[in-house]
Structures are given as structure tokens and as C-alpha cells.
Amino acid sequence: MDFSLLNDVAGKSIQLYALMTPPAVLSAFISGTRHYDAPQKARIALKTSTAMFLIGVLLYLFGPYIFELFGFTLDAFRIGAGVLLFLTAVGLMRDSDPHDHQSDGEDISVVPLAIPLGMGPASIGAVMVMGASAQSGYELALGVSALFLAALGMYVLLRMSDVVARVLRRTGIAVLSKLTGLLLAAIAAQVIFTGIQAFMK
């Protein structure tokens, strides 16, 4: 068994998992699915983790070409994603009921859970750098494997949301939502300012 391969995959998957901001995704998932039944939660958890993996693989393999095709830069993406992230933070701070704004068949799995919370500027930037620096099929396969494990870890975390919710209870979830909203607002501001600063140079 090639332990160096396992170490490489594990190291990259842990790095990507951390960049996907699991606490923010989990808090938004708990707040956004509190009135959902178990099958609905399981379906959204699967769709969210799958979307993270597919977006990650797409950007890992073709990120620079996609940005070039549409004529925008990573800094433009930072600003756009930062605005979406800020709107998500406002929603968490207001503690709005997702059913007040959702129509039948609409869910939160792709926006805002998968993007920009899970696959935000930090994780997308890291994925694109990894893809640009991959020089062989081995390195490409290693990156895809790391993305799969990171997305799998997110799926497991979201499936444990009921356990976390029982431990925190209603008041704890409300406090966690407010704190996450503040954190996301700060992250969004930093992301937007970074994008603007890069454009100004």
C-alpha cells in the first residue's frame, strides 16, 4: 500500500474541507431545514455535497478556461460571491423562515449552501490553484479524490445536523445562527474589499 498517496489525499482533503467552512454550512443547513422532515433533510444534504463536489471538479479541471471564456476574473467572482454571502448573513441575522421565501420544489442546497458558503472564494481559489499546478494525471486524480473526500465529509456532517440540533436546542441554534451571520458578514466584507482592492491596483 502506498502510504504517501494516502497522506497526500488526506492532507489535501482536510485542507479543502476546512476551506468549505463546515460550521457556517452546518448552521445555515440547520436554520434553513428546521421545518423539513428527515427525507427532505437527507435529500438536501446529498444535493449540497454533490453540488460542492461537481463545482469543485469543474473548477479544478476547467476553472481558468471558464473564467477566460466569460471574460471575468477571480476578483470579480470575489465581489459577486461576497455580495451573495452578505445577503445570506443578513438572512441568518433576521432569522427568517425559509418557507416564507421558497416556492414548491425550491431548496437551499445549491444556493446558498453549496455556493457561496461551501464553495466560496477561498475554496474556489484553492481549487483553481491546485488545478493550475497539477502537471500529471496522478496529480489530477489526487485532487479529484481529495474533493470527493471533502464533499463526503460535508455530507456526513449535514446528516448529523439533527444530533447537533438536539444538543444545542432551539436557543443554541438561534445563537449559533446569529454568530454565524456576524461571521459571514465579516467574511463577506473582507472578500468584497479584497476584490475591490485588486481592481483598484
Q: Report residue 95's pLDDT band, with 50, 70 and 90 as the boundaries.
A: low
DSSP letter string over 58-114?
HHHHHHHHHHHHHT--HHHHHHHHHHHHHHHHHHHHHT--GGGT--TT--SIIIIII
Torsions phi, psi of 29, nearest 5? -65, -45
Reported as type and span, the H/E element at residue 186 is: helix 161-200
Host domain of residue 30:
3-200
C-alpha cell at 28: 445555515
pLDDT tens readout for residues 68-79:
888 877 778 778
Q: Report residue 20's pLDDT band, with 50, 70 and 90 as the boundaries.
A: confident
Q: Report residue 169's pLDDT band, with 50, 70 and 90 as the boundaries.
A: confident
Average pLDDT over all residues of the chain: 82
Number of domains observed in the structure of the chain: 1
pLDDT at 104 over 80: no
Please write down the long-range contacts of 159-162, taking CB distance under 8 Å and 24 or more positions apart: 159/41, 159/42, 159/45, 161/26, 161/29, 161/30, 161/33, 161/41, 161/45, 162/38, 162/41
Q: Report residue 164's pLDDT band, with 50, 70 and 90 as the boundaries.
A: confident
pLDDT for residue 153 = 96
pLDDT at 193 over 80: yes
pLDDT at 101 over 50: no
* Residues 78-89, mean pLDDT to the nearest whole number: 77
pLDDT for residue 159 = 96
C-alpha cell at 162: 439533527
Q: Which of 22-31, 93-102, 148-157 has the lowest mean pLDDT?
A: 93-102
Report how far residue 4's alpha carbon sits from residue 12's, in angstroms, rounded to the nearest whole number: 12
